[in-house]
Chain A
Amino acid sequence: DAKTTQPPSMDCAEGRAANLPCNHSTISGNEYVYWYRQIHSQGPQYIIHGLKNNETNEMASLIITEDRKSSTLILPHATLRDTAVYYCIVRVAMWDMRFGAGTRLTVKP
């Protein structure tokens, strides 16, 4: 199984970009990188996913290194509502989305 490593916590100033790193050095060639976040007392929310190329949507950008051993989720203009636990996941099987401890992002005014 490809495992991920994330810092346990990060702070970010409101209005600034939040850059959340993730290491997945054992990722296989056909495994996608997914990002979810979980705001307190809610179910996880899908943010973005990618395979090789960088991706961008209305919520965030995903930068994947060329060797695919790490990635960075970028929230371009963090708001207080972005305070949440962010999970980086490599999908190891069609059914199995293994959630680790994630990074607790705190956006401060």
Chain B
Amino acid sequence: GAGVSQSPSNKVTEKGKDVELRCDPISGHTALYWYRQSLGQGLEFLIYFQGNSAPDKSGLPSDRFSAERTGGSVSTLTIQRTQQEDSAVYLCASSLRDRSYGYTFGSGTRLTVV
């Protein structure tokens, strides 16, 4: 597609449930990133995928968070046993490999844990 697509756009879940957030990057973009943004806060880096290399998971806040990228394209961010502090907007971005290029962000998934 023309842009980075994220789904769902909004998700309300009960505390303790698992959720999956999906990101479909721009075709041909080898790098994919997940960030989250809590209300009124800046963006917090979560994880980075580059081609077939092992992902950099150093930003994941706990072992309840995991992410996969299948076939070098679509990525899924999974949060297990959700807690209220997980409530945030989860943003996905993709870019070409060359770091001189900027990222293209999706519109995000607003997650609310009740």
Contacts and interface: CB of A to CB of B under 8 A. Distances in A.
Interface of A: 32, 34, 36, 42-46, 49, 51, 91, 94-102
B43 A44 contact: yes
Given A43-B106, A43-B108, A44-B43, A95 B100 contact: no
A97 B56 contact: no
B42 interface: yes
Given A43-B91, A44-B91, A95 B48 contact: yes
26 contacts: A32-B99, A32-B100, A36-B102, A42-B107, A43-B91, A43-B107, A44-B91, A44-B103, A44-B105, A46-B102, A46-B104, A46-B105, A49-B100, A91-B99, A94-B99, A95-B33, A95-B48, A95-B50, A96-B45, A96-B48, A97-B45, A97-B103, A98-B45, A99-B35, A99-B42, A101-B42
A34 B93 CA distance: 15
A49 to B, nearest CB: 6
Nearest to B53: A95
Contacts of B104: 46
Contact of B103 (A32, A46, A98, A100): A46
Interface of B: 4, 31, 33, 35, 42-43, 45, 48, 50, 56, 91, 93, 99-100, 102-108
Contacts of A46: 102-105
B107 A95 contact: no
A86 to B, nearest CB: 12
Nearest to B106: A43
A40 to B, nearest CB: 11
B66 to A, nearest CB: 18
A42 B105 CA distance: 9
Contacts of A42: 107-108
Contacts of B106: 43
